[in-house]
């Protein structure tokens, strides 16, 4: 379970470039729920995920994983709970290392780096088995340099890497946005498989309204650092892409003036 | 080149192989260009020589020199990580400070070890080997052991984590790697190796001098670049050993250039020769790739 209470993030506090990126996020995601996150550019979606992961320190508010208060825990202290896939296919893997070395890094996530060999026959077997799920033939290229793989292949490997260690939370930040439609569909397929298998608590940021409605069981919309819309259950089931687009347009034109009445329209 | 000067060149090349491995760790593995080594080479030599003159056991003195140099690396890492001082600048600051510290450690510009016991003393006359062979074998064994240990280390979970930090910090962090800790460890290890090289150099050459470290970084880089342009491999063992081979080849090339009368070089031309050698080593792989691309294009046509 993830709970955010009154979460605020301000960049460059006290400087002329000060930016209020999150302005009081209250959000509780029960164990095993899959939430899709939408919102226009600069709404604070990535900031929210990065703050939950611990890459960014909150200026105010609280974050809990289950009962555990992790607000002050640095990112590396949260990796036992959190797996992530980034938007940039190059960000989730090391181009200078081989495929198997990358997998070995993810395999060691949440454990301490020790002086035992990073790779052995047993781990290689696990990696090969996992990679075979992709049907991309990467299982035969364990010793290739990651940088030689295409963006789609790298993103696929990042996704598998996120699932190598048991974790309870999966954070996906537009992880299919940089891919061609066919690869994006493949990645989304495997994503769903992994989530179902491991019963993960998921937050998935997406630009695609279709994706936002087709996946998961709840959709939230961010606007200027606030959650302006939280959709679940039957109401969400009746929602169409065009309804979401309407909401988007509203948020844009109304800007600051968006008031409680309009929020109620959706709620 | 006489056999005597050949062995001498080999000896220095092997010692600087440790420097090359250290430079490889910072420049290539951690992506942290570190110029501290100019100071930490001398620091390793200065601390070891001073302790030996004070009567401390030669092995302890060598270990102390190595640790002192490792600490110099920690200072550079601290300046960079704690205060966001650019890595290059942080290392220049430490290097500059070390110049004074090395003079303070020795109490004078140089310390002679000619009359003192050194780490080589126990091996004198072993198997009836003449000294000049024994010395080369001794430093070769040191360089090899150092190289193999580093290669082994880079293949462990900890070492792999260090390589990830140099390649993609964000990914490393997302996988639970404490980035700063790896940078500290890497700089300590790198400068420790360089300090060990300084300590061995002082003992094989019979002196420590406050200026002996000048240019260490360029020599180390030259060795790394020469080694890597000759042996393109992804195996850590090959890469680390190619640093040592690169260092030896660099020394041989320099010494041949200086000895070839028809070229008319004198010892003071060393820096120009170094620069040209490094430039050649950098140009060579690029020309080779261009040539290969041209060949491939011709085949297709
Ligand atoms: N490191 C940073 N420093 C300053 N401003 C930032 C930083 N990261 C994000 N921002 C700003 O915060 C706002 C939210 O950004 P982000 O969370 O990336 O939006 P998105 O919803 O598109 O993912 C944007 O206005 C962005 O410019
Ligand atoms: Mg974003």
- For residue B153, the chain A residues in CB contact (below 8 A) are 115
Could you tell me if residue A96 is left (phi over 0), alpha (psi between -120 and 50 degrees) or otherwise beta? Answer: alpha
**Ligand 1 atom 23: residue of nearest CA:** A46
Crossing angle for the helix pair B157-167 and B131-154, nearest 10 degrees?
A: 80
Take residue A147 and report the two structure tokens written for it. Answer: 């940088």
User: How high is the pLDDT of residue A126?
Assistant: 93
Residue B117 or A113, more confident: B117
Three-state SS across chain B?
CCHHHHHHHHHHHHHHHHHHHHHHHHHHHCCCCCCCHHHHHHHHHHHHHHHHHCCCCHHHHHHHHHHHHHHHHHHHHHHHHHHCCCHHHHHHHHHHHHHHHHHHHHCCCEEECCCCCCCCHHHCCHHHCCHHHHHHHHHHHHHHHHHHHHHHHHCEHHHHHHHHHHHCHHHHHHCCCCHHHHHHHHHHHHHHHHHHHHHHHHHHHCEEECCCCCCHHHHHHHHHHHHHHHCCCCCHHHHHHHHHHHHHHHHHHHHHHHHCHHHCCCHHHHHHHHHHHHHHHHHHHHHHHHHHHHHHHHHHC
Residues 6+ apart with CB under 8 A from B6: none
- For residue B24, the chain A residues in CB contact (below 8 A) are none
pLDDT at A258 over 60: no
Distance from Cα A54 to the centre of ligand 2, integer Å: 16
* Burial of residue A60 (number of CB atoms within 10 Å: 0-12, 13-18, 19+): middle
Q: What is the count of structural domains for chain B?
A: 1
B157-203: pLDDT as tens digits: 999 999 999 999 989 988 888 999 999 999 999 999 999 999 999 99
Residue pairs spanning A and B at CB distance below 8 A: 88
For ion ligand 2, residues whose CB falls within 5 Å: A 46
Mutational test site, ligand 1, from A12, A21, A206, A227, max ligand atoms within 8 Å of CB? A21
Report the residue from B163, B173, B177 with minimal CB separation from A97.
Answer: B163
B126 backbone dihedrals φ, ψ, rounded to 5°: -65, 135
Q: Please give the residue of chain B at the shortest CA–CA distance from A167.
A: B175
pLDDT at A86 over 50: yes
What is the mean predicted confidence (pLDDT) over A164-186? Answer: 90
User: Please, what is the average pLDDT of chain B?
Assistant: 92
What is the mean predicted confidence (pLDDT) over A97-108? Answer: 93
- For residue A116, the chain B residues in CB contact (below 8 A) are 156-157
What is the mean predicted confidence (pLDDT) over A142-157? Answer: 92
User: How high is the pLDDT of residue B271?
Assistant: 80
Question: Does residue A39 line the site of ligand 1, with CB under 6 A?
Answer: yes
* DSSP element (H, E) containing A189: helix A181-198
Residue A250 or A60, more confident: A60
User: Please, what is the average pLDDT of chain A?
Assistant: 88
Residue B298 lies in a domain: no
| pTM summary value | 0.85
CA B16 to chain centre: 5
**Ligand 1 atom 4: residue of nearest CA:** A11
User: How high is the pLDDT of residue B132?
Assistant: 87
Instruction: Judge whether A145 is closer than 8 Å to chain B, CB to CB.
Output: yes
Question: Does residue A44 line the site of ligand 1, with CB under 6 A?
Answer: yes
Instruction: Judge whether A97 is closer than 8 Å to chain B, CB to CB.
Output: yes
Instruction: Judge whether B183 is closer than 8 Å to chain A, CB to CB.
Output: no
Residue B291 lies in a domain: no
Instruction: Judge whether B239 is closer than 8 Å to chain A, CB to CB.
Output: no
B109-134: pLDDT as tens digits: 999 998 899 998 888 888 888 888 99
User: How high is the pLDDT of residue A261?
Assistant: 44
Subunit contact B156:A55, Cβ cutoff 8 A: no
Query: Cβ(A161)–Cβ(A133) under 8 Å?
Result: no
Residue B33 lies in a domain: yes
Looking at chain B, the whole-number percentage of residues with pLDDT higher than 90 is: 70
Instruction: Judge whether B167 is closer than 8 Å to chain A, CB to CB.
Output: yes
Take residue B80 and report the two structure tokens written for it. Answer: 């960079």
User: How high is the pLDDT of residue A255?
Assistant: 52
Question: Does residue A157 line the site of ligand 1, with CB under 6 A?
Answer: no
Residue B76 lies in a domain: yes
Take residue A115 and report the two structure tokens written for it. Answer: 């002086």
* 3-class secondary structure, A68: strand
pLDDT at B100 over 90: yes
A173 Cα nearest atom in ligand 1? 23
Instruction: Judge whether B163 is closer than 8 Å to chain A, CB to CB.
Output: yes
Report the residue from A96, A117, A161 with minimal CB separation from B156.
Answer: A117
Q: What count of other Cβ atoms lies within 10 Å of the Cβ of residue B293?
A: 10
Ranked by mean pLDDT, which of A113-127, B168-182, B196-210, B267-281 comes out on top? Answer: B196-210
Residue A261 or A242, more confident: A242
User: How high is the pLDDT of residue B259?
Assistant: 82
Shortest CA distance to A91 belongs to which of A187, A157, A142, A42? Answer: A157
Task: For chain A, list the domains and their CATH numbers.
Answer: 1-46+54-81+217-267 (3.40.50.300), 95-167 (no CATH)
Subunit contact A97:B170, Cβ cutoff 8 A: no
User: How high is the pLDDT of residue A112?
Assistant: 61
Q: Please give the residue of chain B at the shortest CA–CA distance from A111.
A: B176
B225-266: pLDDT as tens digits: 989 888 888 889 999 999 999 999 999 988 888 887 777 788
**Structural domain for B100, as ranges:** 3-213
How many degrees, rounded to 5, is the angle at CA B244 between CA B192 and CA B190? 20
User: How high is the pLDDT of residue B38?
Assistant: 96
Q: Which ligand is nearest to the CA of A22?
A: 1
User: How high is the pLDDT of residue B300?
Assistant: 78
pLDDT at A265 over 70: no
A257 DSSP assignment: G
Question: Does residue A121 line the site of ligand 1, with CB under 6 A?
Answer: no
Crossing angle for the helix pair B270-300 and B216-230, nearest 10 degrees?
A: 20
Ranked by mean pLDDT, which of A108-112, A254-258, B147-151 comes out on top? Answer: B147-151
Question: Does residue A47 line the site of ligand 1, with CB under 6 A?
Answer: yes
B199-225: pLDDT as tens digits: 999 999 999 999 999 989 999 999 999
A67-83: pLDDT as tens digits: 999 999 998 889 889 99
Query: Cβ(A143)–Cβ(A100) under 8 Å?
Result: yes
Residue B169 lies in a domain: yes
> Given pLDDT bands bounded at 50, 70 and 90, which one contains residue B280?
confident
Take residue B235 and report the two structure tokens written for it. Answer: 């195996």
Instruction: Judge whether A179 is closer than 8 Å to chain B, CB to CB.
Output: no
Question: Does residue A23 line the site of ligand 1, with CB under 6 A?
Answer: no
Instruction: Judge whether A166 is closer than 8 Å to chain B, CB to CB.
Output: no
Question: Does residue A89 line the site of ligand 1, with CB under 6 A?
Answer: no
Query: Cβ(A7)–Cβ(A24) under 8 Å?
Result: yes
User: How high is the pLDDT of residue A249?
Assistant: 81
Query: Cβ(A203)–Cβ(A37) under 8 Å?
Result: yes
A27-70: pLDDT as tens digits: 999 999 999 999 988 999 999 999 999 999 999 999 999 999 99
């Amino acid at each position: 379970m993830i709970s955010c209470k009154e979460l605020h993030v301000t960049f460059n506090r006290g400087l002329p470039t000060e930016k209020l990126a999150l302005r009081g996020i209250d959000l509780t995601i029960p164990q095993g729920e899959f939430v899709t996150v939408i919102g226009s550019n600069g709404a604070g979606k990535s900031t929210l995920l990065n703050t939950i992961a611990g890459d960014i320190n909150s200026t105010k508010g609280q974050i809990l994983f289950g009962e555990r208060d992790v607000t002050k825990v640095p990112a590396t202290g949260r990796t036992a709970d959190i797996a992530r896939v980034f938007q940039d296919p190059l960000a989730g893997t090391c181009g200078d290392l081989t495929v198997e070395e990358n997998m070995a890094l993810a395999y060691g996530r949440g454990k301490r780096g020790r002086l035992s060999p990073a790779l052995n026959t047993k781990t290689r077997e696990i990696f090969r088995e996992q990679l075979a799920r992709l049907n991309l033939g990467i299982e035969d290229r364990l010793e290739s340099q990651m940088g030689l793989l295409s963006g789609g292949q790298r993103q696929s490997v990042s996704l598998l890497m996120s699932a190598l260690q048991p974790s309870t939370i999966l954070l996906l930040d537009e992880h299919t946005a940089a891919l061609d439609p066919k690869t994006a569909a493949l990645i989304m397929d495997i994503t769903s498989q992994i989530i179902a298998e491991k019963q993960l608590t998921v937050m998935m940021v997406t630009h695609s309204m279709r994706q936002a409605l087709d996946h998961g069981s709840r959709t939230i919309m961010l606007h200027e650092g606030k959650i302006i819309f939280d959709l679940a259950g039957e109401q969400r089931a009746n929602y169409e892409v065009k309804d979401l687009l309407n909401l988007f347009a509203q948020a844009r034109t109304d800007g600051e003036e968006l008031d409680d009445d309009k929020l109620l329209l959706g709620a | 080149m006489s056999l005597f000067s050949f062995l001498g060149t080999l000896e220095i090349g092997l010692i600087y192989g440790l420097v090359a491995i250290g430079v490889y760790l910072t420049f290539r593995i951690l992506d942290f260009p570190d110029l501290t080594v100019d100071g930490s080479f001398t620091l390793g030599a200065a601390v070891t020589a001073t302790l030996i003159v004070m009567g401390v056991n030669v092995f302890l003195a060598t270990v102390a020199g190595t640790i002192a140099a490792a600490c110099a690396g920690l200072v550079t890492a601290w300046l960079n990580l704690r205060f966001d001082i650019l890595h290059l600048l942080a290392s220049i600051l430490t290097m500059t400070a070390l110049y004074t510290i090395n003079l303070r450690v020795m109490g004078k510009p140089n310390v002679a070890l000619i009359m003192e016991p050194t780490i080589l003393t126990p091996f004198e006359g072993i198997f009836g080997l003449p000294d000049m062979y024994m010395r080369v074998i001794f430093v070769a064994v040191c360089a090899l052991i150092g190289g193999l240990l580093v290669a082994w280390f880079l293949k462990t979970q900890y070492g792999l984590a260090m390589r990830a930090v140099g390649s993609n910090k964000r990914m490393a962090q997302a996988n639970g790697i404490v980035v700063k800790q790896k940078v500290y460890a890497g700089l300590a290890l790198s400068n420790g190796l360089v300090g060990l090289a300084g300590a061995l150099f002082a003992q094989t050459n019979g002196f420590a001098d406050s200026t002996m470290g000048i240019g260490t970084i360029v020599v180390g880089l030259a060795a790394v670049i020469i080694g890597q342009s000759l042996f393109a491999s992804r195996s850590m063992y090959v890469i680390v050993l190619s640093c040592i081979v690169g260092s030896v080849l660099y020394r041989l090339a320099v010494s041949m250039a200086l000895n070839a009368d028809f070229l008319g070089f004198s010892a003071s031309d060393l820096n120009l020769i170094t620069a040209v050698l490094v430039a050649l080593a950098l140009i060579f792989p690029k020309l080779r790739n261009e040539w290969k691309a041209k060949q491939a294009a011709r085949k297709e046509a």
